[in-house]
Amino acid sequence: MPVTVRIAPSPTGLLHIGNIRAALFNYLFARKHGGTFMLRLDDTDRERSTQVFADAIERDLKWLGLSWDSFARQSDHIARYAEVLEKLKAAGRVYPCFETQAELDLKRKTQLGRGLPPVYDRAALKLTDDERNALIAQGKKPHWRFKLNHTDVTWDDVVQGHKSFPAAALSDPVLVREDGVPLYTFCSVVDDVDFGVTHIIRGEDHVTNTAVQIQIWQSISEKPAPVFAHFPLIVSASGIEMSKRLGTLSISSMRDEMGIEAMAVNSLLAKLGTSDAIMPRQTLDELVQEFDLAKISHSTPKFDLEELKSLNAKILHLTPFAAVQERLKAIGAGDIDENFWNAVRANLEKITDVKQWWQVANGPLKPTITEPDFLAAASQLLPTTPWDQNTWTQWTNAVKDKTSRKGKELFMPLRLALTGADHGPEMKVLLPMIGPERTKARLSGEAA
């Protein structure tokens, strides 16, 4: 069968680095196998889902280049979930329950206090028809649980190997709340069946869900269940779990506030937790060719923001002018040409840094004067125009011969005066851009 994978984010918050790792793995797998990559919004939680977050999810995925081949909203399929629920009722695979959340919480606490696992006791199955009708007559609405077969659920996980779960150790999952809202566990399986999903690639926090969802799948479809691959979740450099609810490193904040490049995010996450080295990549096609689920390690990978920033700089250093020309206009640096970009890109950590070096070359700039007498003497030795990339060497050789200075003692006072910084692009490139007039003014301490 053709490969079909999906991601199903909830529009209840911004995508964070963990969400994107799952999306990227699915995207790369689909492209590697010539399959379909689906975006499906898990938006049945009407109270928390918003269009603002839905739009943000699409914006973030598009920015990263993770284009989807098909799109769906679970809120558009409520009638379909109701239809499947009726079939499960007729087959005796779901049953109505009337306990309140407070009653369920008390049951769990009691079980835990007795050293027992907090598994639902199936008390609702013991109700007689008269008792159920009496509860309904009192105005109580049931929630619906799926009745698990108490057998071992097994599958061969692409990442984790052979898995086996005793269903008797799991609570019968709630499929539909008392207010009629279908839940993720149910909707996800129905959609996976209907859209022909062949592989489910997701975090290991869903392993228990998989045991339940395989039984639900088998109860509503004769098709074989998908192939599962559960990868370890990433944690922060300090070992803290990455969580959307904590607002941990949203993609939008990395893009809009930190100036991180999309391919820096992709290059890091595609390799994080795999046997491949993390290297700067310019295109998603490169990552597609290198991707293999078999390379995913069983160990917990750590996400380090400083590593991402370093990778971001390396990618900028490799980025050609044609790839950033329009973006330079968007950040107010449209006057920058290819020669200038090539001259300074090796010193950029984020793309907006280019404006700093444009200011250095074109002014006005307040110089940093450390040795005025030395700078005055150096000014008298400036070569005649026109200036080119040999001018810096000609000038500093003349200053060295005149003053007997060399190394840092020679170069640093000149760099500080001309650029206001103790590091940056090669001075042989910057000096002709700064030009004779600004150079003389800055050497004398004037802002120019």
Bridge partners, residue 97, by sequence:
143
User: What single string gives the DSSP state of each residue in 217-238?
Assistant: HHHH-SSPPPEEEEEPPPEETT
In terms of phi and psi (left: phi > 0; alpha: psi -120 to 50; beta: otherwise), the region of 149 is beta
Return the pLDDT at 42.
96
Sequence letter at residue 11: P
- Residue indicated by tokens 């990559």: 37
pLDDT tens profile 394-424: 999 999 999 999 999 999 999 999 999 999 9
pTM passes above 0.85: yes
The CATH superfamily of 4-73+183-234 is HUPs (3.40.50.620)
Q: How far is CA 140 from CA 3, 47, 115, 241, in A?
A: 44, 22, 32, 39
Return the pLDDT at 248.
59
Nearest to 158 by CA among 26, 48, 304: 26
Return the pLDDT at 243.
59
Task: Using 70 as the pLDDT threshold, list the residues of the chain that sit under it.
Answer: 242-248
Return the pLDDT at 236.
84
Other CB atoms closer than 10 Å to residue 370's CB: what's the count? 11
Return the pLDDT at 249.
82
Token pair of 52, please?
């603002």
Token pair of 77, please?
């399929």
Return the pLDDT at 244.
53
Token pair of 76, please?
């558009």
Return the pLDDT at 1.
79
Considering the domain 372-443, what is its CATH architecture?
Orthogonal Bundle (1.10)
Other CB atoms closer than 10 Å to residue 89's CB: what's the count? 13
User: What single string gives the DSSP state of each residue in 53-87?
Assistant: HHHHHHHHHHHHT---SEEEEGGGGHHHHHHHHHH
The CATH superfamily of 80-176 is Glutamyl-tRNA Synthetase; Domain 3 (3.90.800.10)
Domain boundaries, the chain: 4-73+183-234, 80-176, 321-362, 372-443
Return the pLDDT at 227.
98
Sign of CA dihedral 7, 8, 14, 16: negative
Token pair of 245, please?
């609810």
